[in-house]
Structure 1
Amino acid sequence: MITRRFSVINHLSVTQKLVLSFAFVIIVGSILLSLPISHYANSPETSYLDHLFNAVSMVCVTGLSVVPVSKAYNGFGQIISILLIQTGGLGLVSLIAFSTYTLKNKLGLSDQDLLQSALSRDNQKDLKAYLFNVYKITFSIEALAALVIMTDFIPRFGLGHGIFNSLFLAVSAFCNAGFDNLGTNSLQDYATNPTINLSVAFLIMSGGLGFAVWIDLIQMIRCYIKDRPRNWKLASRPFSNQSRLVLISTSCLLLGGTLLAWFLEMDNSKTIGTLNVWQQLLVSFFQTVTMRTAGFATISYTNANFTSNLLFMIQMFIGGGPGGTAGGIKVTTASIMFLLFKSVLSGNSRVVFRNRIISNKTVMQAFTVILFYLTMLLVGYVILLQTNPTLSPLALLFESVSAIATVGVSMDLTSSLNTMGRLVIMALMFIGRVGPITVLLSLMTKKEKHVSYAPTHISVG
C-alpha cells in the first residue's frame, strides 16, 4: 500500500508536487497549532478553522491572523509558528533537497526540476551549490539582524524573552511573513524606534530581493576583493541583468513610495502628522518597505487617507523580487510592463533593457501572471462583497490585495470576517503563494506551437 502511494506521488507533475507540499505543511501545522499543548491556559477560545487560517497565513508567509500569536500560543506554539514561517519562506521543496544533499543522497531529474522551479531558477547548473548558498545567506542575515534587535529587546523583555522575541521577529521579517509575538497591534508601539524599524526593514528587503540577487552581490564583492579592479564597473561584470533590474526597480519603488507616503500623510494627525520630519520619513519608509509583502505595520491603516491606502495596494500588488520570500506579481514583471510601455511610445518593436532584448515569451509570461492575479483578486473580492455585505468595501479590497499578494497588512478587518470570508482569504493567500509558480511552470513546460495564419485588423482604443 505504501509503495503504491509513493508510486502515485512520483507520477504527479512538478506543479502538483509543489501545491501538495505546501498543502501538506499547512495541514500538519494547523493540527499542531490546534493542540492544547500549543496554547496558554487562559488563551481565547478558538476553533480549528482559526488555527487553519493562521497556518495558511504562516506557510504562505502572509501575516493575516484571526487570533494574535501572542494571545493564543505559548512557547511551544510559537516555536511551531517559527518553523512554519521558515518552511513557507524557504519552501518545503528546498528543505527536503537540502536534507537530501546533506545526507549525501542524489536527487533525481524530476526532483531537480521541482527544486529548480521552487527556487525560480532557469537552469540546473550548480543547483547544489546554489541551494547551500541560499541557506547560508538566510541564516546569516537572520542571525545578524536578530543580534541587533536583541540590543533593544533584552533590556525591554529580559534575557530569555528578549532573545526569543528577537529570533521570532528576525525569521518572520526575513521570510516576509508579517507575524510577531509582541502584542495585537503589530509594530505600532515601535513606530519611531530606529533600531527596530531599520532592522526589520533590512530583513524585509533582504528576503524580498531574491536569492539570485544576493549571490550576484556576493560574487561581485569577492571579485572586487580578489582582483582589486580600478573601479566597481569592472567588478560588476558577472552581475546579471535580472539582478540589475531588480535592484533598479526596487530602489525606485522604495524612494518614490517613501516620498509619496510622506506627502500624503504628513498632515494626518491620526498617523504621522504629530511626528517631526525625520520620524515622519522613518514611518513612511517603513510602510513602503513592509508593503513589499512583509505585513508589519507601524500605523493603523484605518486611519490612513484613502489615497494612501490606494498607493499601498499598488505597492502590495507589485511585491518583491523573484526567487525570494516576497509575493506579489514581482518587480521584474512590473518592470517588463513599464519597459513594454516605454518601447511602444518610442516606436520600438522589441522590449529592451540595457541594450538587450527581452524575449516575447517572457513578455507574454509577465502578461499572464498579471492577468492571473487580477482575475483571482476580482473573483475573491466579489465573493467577499457578497458574503460580508456589512463590512467596508474598501477594507475588503485592502484585505483581498493583502491576501493574494501575501502581504498581511489589514484595516483591522480579519477577525470580523465570517466563515465564508475567512475561507476566501485562505484561498487567496494559498493562490498568491503557489499560483504564480504553477502558472509559469505550465507555460514553460508546454511546447511552443509555430502555426502561421493570415493577419487581421482589430481597432484598439
Structure 2
Amino acid sequence: MSDSLKRRVNAFRERVNIKLYDSRDRVLKDLRTAGVLISSLTIFVLIYFHGFQLDLPERAVVEFTVKFSIGFYLLKYVIEFIYSFSPIQHLKETKWEGILMAFLFLNILSINIFGTEIMGFLGGVIGMETLDQFFILFIQGYFLLIVFLELGKASTFLPFASLSPPALLALSFIFLILIGSGLLMLPEMTVPGKVLTYGEALFTSISASCVTGLQVVDTATHFSFKGQFLIMLLFQLGGLNIISFATFFAIFTKKGIGIRHQSLIQANYSNESLTSSAELFRKIIRFTFQIEALGALLIFFSWGDHMTFNSLGQRIFYSFFHSISAFNNAGFSLFTNGLMESPIQQSYLLHIVIACIIIFGGLGFGTIKDLFTLRQVRERMQKPWKTLTTGSKISLYSTGVLLALGFIVFFALEYNNTLSNTSTSSKVVTSFFQSVTTRTAGFNTVDIGSLTLPVLIFFIFLMFIGASTGSTGGGIKTSTFALVFLSAWATIRGKKKVEIFKQTIPWELLNRAFSIFLFSATTMLVGIFILAISDSHLGLARLAFEEVSAFCTVGLSTGITAELSGMGKAVIMVSMFIGRIGTITLAFALSSRKRESNDYKYPKANFMVG
C-alpha cells in the first residue's frame, strides 16, 4: 500500500471513529448483554435437544434458535469490527474468533447455494452423523465463555472476588462436577433400557472431572455416544482445569489475561514465575492439543487387524477418546475390560503408543515446555552451559527411576502369575505398560484383582508418588517425594543443607513437600480407616488399594468399586476430589492468610526425636 493511499485510509477511518464514538460504549454494552441472553437460551435449547427425544415441532424450534444465534454472532462480530478504533489490530486480537466467523459465513453460503451443511457433509463422509450437532454445541459453548469472560473474569469479577486462587480452583471443579452429573442424568446420555441414578452420575462425573477412571457403571455399555462424548469432555476439562480452559478463550479473544488469572494458573500448575504463567498456559494448550491429536493419529493406525469398528467415525472417536484419556491420565476406556479386552489385549503396538502418551501427560507441562520449546532447545544448543531447569531434571530422573523399578518388580513377581503363558516380548511390553499406567493413568492390560499381594503393595507405593508437578496426573508428585527423600538422606548424613544438581533447596520448598506428604498420607489413612468400617468384608488390602487409587487419581481397581457401600462410595468420591485439587490447595482455600509477626520470637526448643 502506498503512503498516499495509507493516509487516505487512515483519514477515512478517523472520520468513521469520530462519527461512531458517541454511540460506541452503548452499542458494545448492548451487544454483550444480548450475547449473554442469546447464548444462555441457545445452550439451554441445545442441552434439551441432545438430552431428550424431540418431535418435529420441537426440532424446528431448536433449529431456528441455533440459526438465529449464529446470525447474531456474525452480526455482533461485524459491528465490533466497525466500532474498533484499529480494525487491523482487532482482527489480530480476535483471529481465532474471526476464523470461526469466516467458517460460519462459508457454511451459510454452502447451505443457500449448494443446500449442504459443511460439518454435516463431513460427518457423513467419515461416518459421524452427529458431527455437525456437536460442532454447533462447541460453537455455542465457545461464545458463551467469551461473553462471560468479557463481562466477568477478564474485567470486573475476578479483581473484586474475595476468594483466593486455590479456592477458585476448588470451586471450578465443584462447578464442573455438578454440571457434569446433571447432564449425565439426561435420558439421551444412556443407552435405551439403562437407568442411571444420581449417585452413579455424580460418581462418574467426579471420576471424569478428577481424571481418575474409577467406575460404578460400565462406560462402554451403559452410556450412549452422547454420554461417552460428555465424559470425554469432562476429563479434558478436568485435566486442564476448567478455569484454565476458560482462560484459553480469554487469551484468544481479548488482549490478554489479568494478574488474578495468572495467579490461578500459577496455583494450578505450580509455575515458578507469576509473570510467565500466561506464556506457560498458551504453550500448555498448544502442547495438549498437539500431543492428543498426534496420539489419536497413532492410535488410529495401531488398533490391529482383530479390532473391528462399525464405521470410520467410530474408529476416529475411539482413537480420540483413548488419546485424550491417556494424556489426561484419566484411565477411562470404551471397552468393558479396559485394554484387557480380547481384541486389543495382544495389540502391543497400541499399548506402547498409549504408554508414551501417558508418560508425556505425566511429565508436567513445565517439563514439556522446557524440553520441546524451540527457543529453549535453540538456547541449549547455542549455550552448552545452559541446561534443563531443576524441576525438569527432577521430573525426568524420577520418572525414569520409577518406570524402571515398576518394570523390574512387575516382571519378576508376576512372571509366573499374570504373565505366564505369554511370550517374552509380551511379558516385556505388559510389564512396561503396567509400570507406566500404575503411577497415575489407570489403564490395565492384566486383571488387577489377580495380582500378587507384593505387587499390589508396590503399586500402592507407585500410585502414592504419582506423576510430576504441574501435570494432569495425581499423587503427591515426584518432586515432593524427591525432596522428602533428599531431606531424609541429608539428615542421615549429618548435612544441614539439602542440595541437588549443585543447587540448595530452600526450606520453604522442603516445608511444603513435607506438608503435602503429611496431608496426603493422613487423608488416605483416614479414608482407609472409614472403608475398613463400612466395607470390611472386602478385605483391607483391596480397600487400601482402592483408596490410594482414588486419592492419587489413578483409577486402577481390584474390581470392588461397584461393590462398595454407599458410605464407601462417598469416601472414594471425596478422596478423588481432594486428591485432584491437592491437599495443600484445599488447605489454602479453606484458610485465610495470616501475617507473620517479626516483633518477637520464642526461644528454640530442644528435645529428643526418634
So what's the TM-score if we normalise by structure 1? 0.92
Distance 1:238 1:128 in 2: 23
Out of 402, 405, 415, the residue aligned to residue 266 of structure 1 is 415
SS of the equivalent of 1:97 reads helix
1:245-298: CA deviation from partner (whole Å, max 9, x where unpaired) = 110111011111111111111121xx1122222211211111111112101111
The residue that corresponds to 2:83 in the other structure is: none
8 A Cα contact 2:291 2:357, kept in partner: yes
The residue that corresponds to 1:26 in the other structure is: 177
Distance 1:312 1:78 in 2: 29
The residue that corresponds to 1:369 in the other structure is: 516
- Cα 1:73–1:360 shift into 2, 3 Å: same
AA aligned to 1:413 is I
Shift of 1:340: 1.1
- Cα 1:83–1:437 shift into 2, 3 Å: farther
Shift of 1:348: 1.1
- Mean alpha-carbon deviation: is it higher for 433-442 or for 388-397? 433-442
Distance 1:143 1:86 in 2: 13
- Give 1:323-342 correspondences, 5 Å limit: 323-342=470-489
8 A Cα contact 1:59 1:87, kept in partner: yes
- Mean alpha-carbon deviation: is it higher for 236-245 or for 77-86? 236-245
Distance 2:438 2:252 in 1: 36
The residue that corresponds to 2:229 in the other structure is: 79
Distance 1:251 1:126 in 2: 28
- Cα 1:62–1:370 shift into 2, 3 Å: same
The residue that corresponds to 1:91 in the other structure is: 241
- Cα 1:68–1:348 shift into 2, 3 Å: same
SS of the equivalent of 1:153 reads coil
SS of the equivalent of 1:152 reads coil
- Cα 1:9–1:431 shift into 2, 3 Å: farther
The residue that corresponds to 2:126 in the other structure is: none
The residue that corresponds to 2:496 in the other structure is: 349
AA aligned to 1:207 is G
AA aligned to 1:266 is Y
1:188-210: CA deviation from partner (whole Å, max 9, x where unpaired) = 53344222111111111111100
SS of the equivalent of 1:183 reads coil
Question: 1:436 and 2:583 equivalent?
Answer: yes
Distance 1:272 1:446 in 2: 55
The residue that corresponds to 2:403 in the other structure is: 254
1:199-251: CA deviation from partner (whole Å, max 9, x where unpaired) = 111111111100000111024x655568855xxxx557152111011101110
AA aligned to 2:404 is L
In the alignment, structure 2 segments of 5+ residues that lack a partner are 1-147
Out of 163, 177, 181, the residue aligned to residue 12 of structure 1 is 163
The residue that corresponds to 1:204 in the other structure is: 358
- Cα 1:236–1:373 shift into 2, 3 Å: farther
8 A Cα contact 1:224 1:235, kept in partner: no
- Cα 1:408–1:256 shift into 2, 3 Å: same
Question: 1:164 and 2:317 equivalent?
Answer: yes
- Cα 1:67–1:291 shift into 2, 3 Å: same
Distance 2:505 2:595 in 1: 19
Shift of 1:376: 0.9
In the alignment, structure 1 segments of 5+ residues that lack a partner are none
- Cα 1:440–1:246 shift into 2, 3 Å: farther
- Mean alpha-carbon deviation: is it higher for 53-62 or for 441-450? 441-450
SS of the equivalent of 2:499 reads strand
AA aligned to 2:371 is L
- Give 1:182-193 correspondences, 5 Å limit: 182-189=335-342, 190-193=344-347
The residue that corresponds to 2:334 in the other structure is: 181
Out of 269, 276, 299, the residue aligned to residue 423 of structure 2 is 276
Shift of 1:316: 0.2
Report the structure number with the largest CA radius of gyration.
2
Distance 1:154 1:257 in 2: 27
- Cα 1:393–1:412 shift into 2, 3 Å: same
The residue that corresponds to 1:382 in the other structure is: 529
Question: 1:318 and 2:465 equivalent?
Answer: yes
- Cα 1:440–1:277 shift into 2, 3 Å: farther
Shift of 1:457: 2.7
- Cα 1:358–1:439 shift into 2, 3 Å: farther
Identity of aligned residues (%): 35
1:7-29: CA deviation from partner (whole Å, max 9, x where unpaired) = 99822222221111000010000
- Cα 1:185–1:100 shift into 2, 3 Å: closer
Distance 2:508 2:234 in 1: 35
The residue that corresponds to 1:116 in the other structure is: 266
Give the number of equivalent residue pairs.
452
8 A Cα contact 1:148 1:195, kept in partner: no
Shift of 1:382: 1.1
Once superposed, what is the RMSD of the aligned Cα atoms? 2.5
Distance 2:294 2:352 in 1: 13
Shift of 1:46: 2.5
8 A Cα contact 1:365 1:440, kept in partner: no
- Cα 1:187–1:235 shift into 2, 3 Å: farther
The residue that corresponds to 2:137 in the other structure is: none
- Mean alpha-carbon deviation: is it higher for 299-308 or for 434-443? 434-443
- Cα 1:391–1:240 shift into 2, 3 Å: same
Distance 2:380 2:358 in 1: 32
- Cα 1:7–1:353 shift into 2, 3 Å: closer
Shift of 1:434: 1.0
8 A Cα contact 1:297 1:409, kept in partner: yes
1:424-456: CA deviation from partner (whole Å, max 9, x where unpaired) = 100000000013351575699655555533233
8 A Cα contact 1:53 1:66, kept in partner: yes
So what's the TM-score if we normalise by structure 2? 0.70
1:394-424: CA deviation from partner (whole Å, max 9, x where unpaired) = 1111100000000000000000011111111
8 A Cα contact 1:68 1:184, kept in partner: no
Out of 174, 186, 192, the residue aligned to residue 41 of structure 1 is 192
- Mean alpha-carbon deviation: is it higher for 240-249 or for 125-134? 125-134
Shift of 1:34: 1.2
- Cα 1:223–1:54 shift into 2, 3 Å: closer
SS of the equivalent of 1:216 reads helix
8 A Cα contact 2:380 2:386, kept in partner: no
Shift of 1:390: 1.9
8 A Cα contact 2:213 2:331, kept in partner: yes
8 A Cα contact 2:158 2:260, kept in partner: no
8 A Cα contact 2:516 2:584, kept in partner: no
Distance 2:389 2:577 in 1: 31
- Cα 1:444–1:31 shift into 2, 3 Å: closer
Distance 1:167 1:154 in 2: 16
Distance 1:218 1:50 in 2: 40
Distance 2:158 2:515 in 1: 33
- Cα 1:105–1:222 shift into 2, 3 Å: closer
1:35-63: CA deviation from partner (whole Å, max 9, x where unpaired) = 101111133x3211101100000000000
